Structure 1
Amino acid sequence: MTMQTGFPGVVKSHSLSARATSRGVTATWWYTASAIVFFELALVLIWTATLRQSELEGVPLGAVFVGGLLWSGSTVPLLLAYRHRTGAATSVQWRGILTPLLAAVGYGVLAFSLSGLWLLMLAPLAQTLQLLDWPRAVRTRQVLAITVLLACLWVVDANVAFSGPLAPVTDYFLFGFTSTALPLATVLSLWWWDVLVALDRARVSEARLAATQERLNLATDVHDLQGHHLQVIALQLELTDRLLLSDRDAALEHLRAARISVDEARQGTRDLATRFRSVPLLDELANARDLLRAAGIAAETIVTPQMDGAPASLFGPVIRETTTNVLRHGSGKHASLRLSRADNQWRYEISNDVDAPTAPFPTGTESRDIQGREGTGLEGLTRRAREAGGTLEVVRGESKFTVIVTAPTERRVG
């Protein structure tokens, strides 16, 4: 679901989108499905216990119990199919639902023949019907009608429970209430699942729209930038062509201006790409801290509030470079990363302790040791700081190395 890189397909089927979205709330789905199965099994136990109070024993009682387990198991495929429902009107796939329906009808007939209770005949089928992929309006009318019918059968069966062969039954209220309420409870559980899926799809759609909007912004910026420079370059080259024979010096001047425009377009494109690729500084610091801690170094970060104006194009590479070299060349157990604002300048400072004063300098792709030899990494960081109008300073103590990079607050980079 994460859309970090790449472009999503322009055309995707609704059913595939529903499947991908459902996987994003897998834990909720399994909670919902297991709860429904649990209630079905509990209802089977209640039915069995109720009939046992009526002195139904032996094979008939076992048949009710085992048949209930088989019926509950037959509803599992319907639950698994419901997980990927699209909500669209589709033709009924009888092959997938015929077996559960036959199991519900067969169990209902068996239980009714042994007990004479109408609730036991209709309740399994009523529950199975709720697990089918009905349109919302049909499902609502259906569950209300079935609940009313079950309640009426509850009243009819009450006469059997308090007279005749079921007279010893003492928990008939629990029996009737659970049998009547289960289809409605199932529909409410599935409705809750549908709501979660709809919310998850909305979240995915919002993320896609945000990514699309970002691409449109980038395309607009590239079009404006390149369009302007290309128009200027075309005009300058046209003037060069016109003046080449009559005024060679003027033609060469326009040619130089065209070359400058090419460099400006190239730099503008590079700056634009950097702006869209840049990672927020808070994330850079968090990643650096986690990386150091994973290496066994006790790292801490201290960040000043209101970091929106800090130049990410400068401090981002500096944070990554210095963190890498603390891992490569530092020999201590503690590191501190601080990003602050004071005296009209941004200040980034990274310090790490060392075991001996001869430890190599922990910054740069190639290290700079205490005699002062510099590598290309340090030169690159120094150049970045200078281009941003700032400085890079190295502080070497007896047991600690510190790198300090500053940049003026009035000049933003990236």
Structure 2
Amino acid sequence: MNTRVCDSGQLMPVDEAIEQLLAQAPPAPPTEVIPLGQAAGRVIAEELFSPLDLPCWDNSAMDGYALRAADVPEQGGYLVLAGRIAAGHSSDELLQAGQTVRIFTGAPLPPGADSVVPQERCRVYGQRIWCPPLRLGEHVRKRGEEMQRGQRLLRVGQRLRAQEVGLLASAGIPWVKVYRPLRVCLLSSGDELREPGESLAPGQIYNSNRHLVTALLRGWGVEVLDYGVMADALAASRDALILASSECDLLLTTGGVSVGEEDHLKQAIQELGRVDFWRLAIQPGKPLAFGEVAGKPWIGLPGNPSAALITALVVVRPFLLRAQGVERVLPVPVQVPAGFEWPTPNKRRQYLRARLSPGADGQLRAVLHPQQSSAMLTAACWADGLVIVEREQLLLKDAPVPFLSFAEFQ
């Protein structure tokens, strides 16, 4: 990339910006081996294969009675109760013709049994059990039905959610090799910023972006090194960037990337490294920058809170995930009917704060919050996700629109 995109005043399309960012993502951090109980949210650094069959044996999917399906007549019939098998126990005794065994969920089937009847469908008369007709193999979990020994459990580059952690536990895997968390230095820019709890003088505001971006980063498995607020001075910006670049894998700043004469961050970046682009065809969030500081990647988020939120979700998140070794980094939108009209085209792709709401016909439609300002977070708190309106696009009510649930950005 080069700086001509910035200098000419042209706007870079969002997808092109993401593509170029991903192409320049650094290699994943070094690996480490950690206990499975600490692995949630981390990224797998090696392929994992099942060391055993799942389940390890044929077992009952219900509390009921294990039997041979062929022993039950078409109209149902009586079998002789020959034992009991609880979960965590087993039986080596061969089930004889005309016999049944009381069995509980998860317990191994006794030799000779091939089916299970739920207890609520049976009638008990002492040692005689009346069983209804059933299909062969009913309510039986077969050995290796979920996973066979040697079959791949997880691929390199998968983030471990609760379900992946549970799958590894079910296969008896106690340790996993994962990538070390990415260390991101977070710096804020602006003399007007104060921390929550401090008093505000005229012209000052609370630093919402610092807490907003920190929460996002931690949710993406990033180790955040918070360097506080840089003074709006060239020397102060330069010193803070030099220190941060020596201690992290990547730098992330909020504010200071617009065209104001008090925004010294861009000049400091150019002196210490390079700025590749800083104006995107996205709303909110046009002044977003990418470059390098002392050999470390740098991303500059805009200062307006909603702009910072949306550019972080849409543009920065894929880059950070790829830099952690994640393969699948792009969220997947769904098409929903628009519960609004969009009669005025825009030169930038818009990410509108929206909620899915059922209409009179019961169908979910995307409705917009009335306030879409880049400076306000209220709409994002109200919303379920983002509606995408492409550049120069007009929309009629009930036209299909792409909707990105906030759940896709986790």
Q: Output the TM-score relative to the length of structure 1.
A: 0.26
More strand by share: 2
More helix by share: 1
Q: Output the TM-score relative to the length of structure 2.
A: 0.26
